Structures are given as structure tokens and as C-alpha cells.
Amino acid sequence: MLNLTRQMIEIRNILLNINGATDLRLPSIVVIGSQSSGKSSVLESIVGQEFLPKGSNMVTRRPIELTLVNDPSSASEIAEFPALKMFNMTDFQQVQKVLVDLNLAVPQSEAVSADPIQLTIKSPRVPDLSLVDLPGYIQVEAADQPLTLKNKIREVCDKYLDQPNIILAISAADVDMANSSALRAARRADPRGERTIGIITKLDLVEPEVARSILTNKKYPLKMGYVGVITKIPKSTSLFHKKTGLQAFIAQQNAERAYFKENKEVFVGTNVGTKLLKRKLIRVLERSMSEALKPMHQLVMNELEETSYKFKVEFNDRDLTCEKYMAQTIDNLKMEIKEFGERFGRPELRSLLRSELDQKVLDLLALRYWNKSEPYLSKNPGSADYEFEEPPIANLSSSKNDDVFWHRKLDLATANLTKIGVGRLSTTLITDAILTEIEVLIDSTNLRNNTMIKKAIKDAAISVLNQRYNSTADQVENCIKPFKYEIEVEDREWNVSRTHSVQLLTEEVKEAQEAYDFIKKTIGGNKLKQLMTYIENENNPVGQNIERENMGFSPGMLLRAREALFLRDRVSVLNMRLKGLKSSSCKHKENKFKCPEIFLDVVAEKLTQTAILFLNVELLSDFYYSFPRELEKRLSSNLTTEEIENYAKQDPKVKRHIELQQRKELLELALSKIDDVVAIQKRM
């Protein structure tokens, strides 16, 4: 029998989770009582735990939907707040604290919230029951509240006092029944007294005869009658006041029993005691649920038909859950990664690294070969950029001493290049490029606005790349090691690099020329000429100050003109070098000292080729293998169901789809459970 009630409570809770289906409600027991009527004590004596918020200023602001589950297998009372994902709570002080917090979260100005707190308590000692502790209905309403708030409170409460719920109206024996606001409220909702059980608390505070007359109330007759209880003996008179928790409740029940036993004759023919109350509640709830079940079957079926139809029309019966949606997202991402893998492979790595090394080569050449006395450039003493180098490169001489000088110079430049830390440089370059590409990839999908998913994808990429970073950098560095000692050049390599160097320098000339032209355009040709002449004569200060003032040169203009001078000289040096590279002496690798551009280009190419070999295998291939797996881990197993749900429901269409499907599933589940219970009832 008990199991049947539990199944019906389960059905009730399933139906409660179906949004907006207000007519799909199986009855519950709603508890009302004015402050200090003993409402909390009654509820707690049913549960056998103290868990409700106390204190004179503690007004309940949200309904508490309490589901009691008789669970013989559990060792003690366990509380759960399913909506908060708080399970297996055994500390009832903690439960009390959560309830206080949840109540206080409703601002005083709003008085109450219609949003119920769902609390489940499982215990071998509780009956299967479903109870609702209503917000400080009566006391708040009676207080000095503005009318709008009173209406709001009434609205929230009336919803619960309506059919088919059973009303548990609590009044204290020491207060005149005519003044019982609980009974008054119950009569408003249930004028014929068909769904109300009257609970009279604190029977110990009145003479047994008075108590009896209240319990046999003729003035306010209730079909389900009255039950008298003593749920708290004042501590000062109790022998058991030192007991706490369950022990205190057992002691309490014993005291209650002793009291009624003592006054047996007086209470004969009345309903008294917490134990009897529990039994009555179980019976009443089970009966009213059973009665409601058949009409409910029809209602659920109608609702299911309606929902199934919508699901078919709108979504063609296509199955979609939050998890499935996430799986689709992951699959799409995997596809994108695969396509990205086809776009970003060895050739792309190569060109990235090569252009980085080209830049390093150009910097080195500028540092070691192409600089010349630049008296007109504002000198930065710490910078090597404007160092003097003798003799000027344009006049490469072939005298013996000079040969040694140029040999050493090339050796130094080569060492500079091979020892820049190609391992780390290239690995960082590629990992950065991959991360940038991944970001671009995400931004091209509809995930771009989802910070959580975006972060998960980025973190997955970083974690995969990090795992490989050090070993890749070391491998690359090891493999280019031989180039730090010796570099052999073949004719073919020399020719390729010669062409490449010419291209590179031609581009450099073009860029420098464009930059120069731009300055010329902004300052004006004549003005620039004057400025440049002025700077070139800077070392000859006679009359300079006067001229400077006369001509109105601003510091900003002078700076731009210095830049222009630098660019002009750069263009002339580069043109000179281009001539050299194209000349017959740079045709042969034996003349490498006279053609450092070509030789360094050969070195850069060798470094690139070797590095790419390892970067491709160690880093890139591994990334394409591990990244989708890591992504899957982070986007499915590592996220909570709630996070996945939040993600899926961000898309309004998906939200509607999933919610409609969930509704359909809940209705199907409820229907099948109703069928089961009805079948059992038929057999009984």
C-alpha cells in the first residue's frame, strides 16, 4: 500500500515538472497555520528532524514542497534539494541553513515568491507523503501590508489551497477556535469542509475536557475530522529536554503517548497523537490521489497527444536531447578541425617558419653588413642597429687581410642565425599560429558568442600543444645542431638561394622606397629636401640654429626626415647589394664571403627544412590526432549536465525543440506510471 502512495507521489512530482500544465496536478497536503500555532513542530514531528527555519522574524517567503520517501534501506534521514543539485545531506542544520538562505533571497519588499522550494527527505522512519509548507500566509497577510502585496501573497497561497489539495489547518488549543485564521482560510477554499483536516496542537496547555470539546468541534464540522497532538512539551517541564535530534523526537512521542494514556477516558472517541495523524495523512493522501488518478489519466493523454502533434509538426519527430546537441557540436567541430588540417599542413608550416627566418636574416644582414656611418640618424647608444662597420660593404676588397675579416664576419653571422634558438622559436611560432587559427575557426562558427565553449576549445588546444611543446623544441634544437658547426652547400642550393635572396632584397627595396615616398608625400618634396640637407649639415653647426628657426622645422618633422634619410640610404645600399648578388662573382658558392645574403639564405633554408620535419611529426600531426579527443573530453565528460543544458538552450529553436521533447517524454513517463498504478489497483 505504501508503495502505491510513493508511486503516486512520484507521478505527482513528474507532473509538477511539466511547465505550464497547471491542471495536471495530483493532490498534496497543504499545511497552513498562523505563527506560533505549532505548524513547524507538527511538520518536524512527522519527519523526526528539526529542519525548518525558526525565529520570530523568520517568515517563510517561498512554499516548501516537501516529499517524504519511506526508504527502509537508508540508515538515517537524508535530505535533498534536487533543483539545487544538493543530494545526500545528513546534516539537518545545514538543511535548515539552506532553507533560511532560500527564503531570505526573496526581498522583503516582494513578501513572497511563487517559486517553490523542493525538498525531499528519505528515511526509514518517514511515511510516503507529499506536503506543502505554505509561506507565512496568514501572519503576513494579517500584518500591515500594502494591498498589492496582500493580493500577491493570497494568489501564491490560494493556488495551493485549491482543489484537489488537502488542507491541514493548524490551530493551537489555547487559542479560541473562532479566532483560528487557519480554519478561516481553509473554509474560504473549502467551504463544505470536505478536504480539510483540523489539527489542534498544544493540547497539554488546556484542560483535557476543554481539549475534548475542541476535538469534537460541532461549530466547524470537517468531514475528515480533527486530530489533536502534543508536539512539544515546554523544555522547563520536560525530562527530556537534554535530548537532541531523533532521540528528542522519540522522547517527545513517548511523552505525548503518556499524556493521552493518562487521560484515556477523556479522549475516548477522539483522534489524538502524532502517530495517528501520520496514519491518517497517509490514508487520506492515498485515497485522494487514487481518486484523482483516473481523470488524470485522461488529462495526461490529451496533453500528450497535443504535445506529440506539435513535436511532429514542428520538429518532424526528430529526437534531440541536450547531450545529442552537444555531440553534434563536437562532431561539427571535428569536421572543422579536419578541414583546418587540410588547409594548415606542412607547406603552411614551412612558409611561416621560412618567412620568420627571412626576417631574422634581414635583421642580421642589416646589423652586420648593411650599416654605414649614419651621422644624421638620432643615435641610440645601446642599439646595435647603427653600429659602424668598416670597410663599407660596397667595396668588398680581395686583399688577404680583408679575406680573413670577411670570413670571420660570415662565420659570426652564421653562428648568430643557427644559435637563435630555432627549437623554441619555431615551436612557439607554430603553436601561436595554431591557436590563432583555432580562434579564427571558432569565430567563424555559431560558437563565437559562447564564452564557456570557446574557452573549453581554447583550453583543449593549449593543453594538447603544451604537452608537446618542450619535447618538440628540444627535438628541433637537437636536429639543427650539426649546422652550428658546419654547413655544406651544394650548387643547386646556392642557385635557389641566390634567386630567393634577389627576390627578398627586391621586396625590401620596394618597401623602403614606399616608406620613403610616403614621408615625402606627407611632408612635401621641397620641405623634405630642405630638412634632409639641414640634417646632413648638422655636424657643421654654424648658422644652423638660426636656419632651423627661420625654416620652422618642428621636432616631429626632423624625426620623419631622419627616417627618410635612413630609408634613402637603405635603398641605395640594398640596390648596391642587389647588383652584387646579380653579378658573376655571386654565381659561385666559393665566393660566399662576398655574398653573405645568399649564404645566410642557404642556412635559413636548411634550418627551415630540418625544423619542419620535426614540427610536422611531433607537433602538428600529434595535434590533429589529440585535439579532437581532448575536445570531446572537455565538452562532454568534463561538463556538468546543467552546463550542457545551458549551452544547448542558448539557441531558442533548440531550446524549444528540447523542451517540447522533454515535455513529451515526461508525459509518456507519467502516463506509463499511471497505467502501472491503475493496473495494481485493479488487481487489489
State the residues that interact with ligand GDP by CB under 6 A: 33, 35-41, 201-202, 204-205, 230-234
Amino acid (one-letter) located at 674:
I
Q: How far is the CB of 251 from ligand GDP (least distance, A)?
A: 14
CB 649 within 8 A of CB 322: yes
User: Which residue, 36 or 463, is less far from ligand GDP as judged by CB?
Assistant: 36
**Backbone φ, ψ for residue 69 (5° rounding):** -120, 120
User: Which residue, 35 or 621, is less far from ligand GDP as judged by CB?
Assistant: 35
Q: Which of 126, 117, 122, 118 is nearest to 47 (CA)?
A: 126
Q: How far is the CB of 140 from ligand GDP (least distance, A)?
A: 12
Residue 334, judged by CB atoms within 10 A of its CB (0-12, 13-18, 19+), counts as middle
CB 206 within 8 A of CB 230: no
In angstroms, the CA 142 to CA 32 distance is 14
- Residue 165 is given by DSSP the state P
User: 121 has which bridge partners?
Assistant: 68, 79
The half-sphere exposure of 276 on its side-chain side, counting CA atoms within 13 A, is 15
User: Which residue, 59 or 631, is less far from ligand GDP as judged by CB?
Assistant: 59
- Would you tell me how many other CB atoms lie within 10 Å of the CB of residue 559? 12
In angstroms, the CA 70 to CA 123 distance is 5
| Cell 620613403 belongs to residue | 516
User: Which residue, 259 or 553, is less far from ligand GDP as judged by CB?
Assistant: 259
CA dihedral sign, ordered 586, 591, 595, 599: positive
C-alpha cell at 428: 612557439
Strands 129-133, 29-33: pairing is parallel
In angstroms, the CA 9 to CA 674 distance is 11
Burial 228-243 (b: 16+ CB within 10 A, else e): bbbbbbeeeeeebeee
- Would you tell me how many other CB atoms lie within 10 Å of the CB of residue 388? 9
In angstroms, the CA 2 to CA 370 distance is 96
CB 316 within 8 A of CB 389: no
In angstroms, the CA 361 to CA 602 distance is 10
Q: How far is the CB of 201 from ligand GDP (least distance, A)?
A: 5
User: Which residue, 128 or 204, is less far from ligand GDP as judged by CB?
Assistant: 204
User: Which residue, 230 or 248, is less far from ligand GDP as judged by CB?
Assistant: 230
User: Which residue, 229 or 658, is less far from ligand GDP as judged by CB?
Assistant: 229
Amino acid (one-letter) located at 420:
I
Q: How far is the CB of 182 from ligand GDP (least distance, A)?
A: 9
Distances in Å between the Cα of 207 and the Cα atoms of 41, 302, 643 are 21, 55, 60
Give the number of residues written for the chain.
684
User: Which residue, 231 or 662, is less far from ligand GDP as judged by CB?
Assistant: 231
User: Which residue, 38 or 127, is less far from ligand GDP as judged by CB?
Assistant: 38
Q: How far is the CB of 112 from ligand GDP (least distance, A)?
A: 16
User: Which residue, 41 or 120, is less far from ligand GDP as judged by CB?
Assistant: 41
User: Which residue, 134 or 230, is less far from ligand GDP as judged by CB?
Assistant: 230
- Residue 272 is given by DSSP the state B
Q: 625 by DSSP, 3-state: which?
A: helix
In angstroms, the CA 42 to CA 277 distance is 10
Q: How far is the CB of 165 from ligand GDP (least distance, A)?
A: 19
User: Which residue, 202 or 589, is less far from ligand GDP as judged by CB?
Assistant: 202
Q: Which of 614, 605, 626 is nearest to 423 (CA)?
A: 614
Burial 44-78 (b: 16+ CB within 10 A, else e): bbbbbbbbbbeeeebbbbbbbbbbbbbbeeeeebb
Q: How far is the CB of 632 from ligand GDP (least distance, A)?
A: 52
User: Which residue, 37 or 113, is less far from ligand GDP as judged by CB?
Assistant: 37
CB 188 within 8 A of CB 32: no
User: Which residue, 203 or 362, is less far from ligand GDP as judged by CB?
Assistant: 203
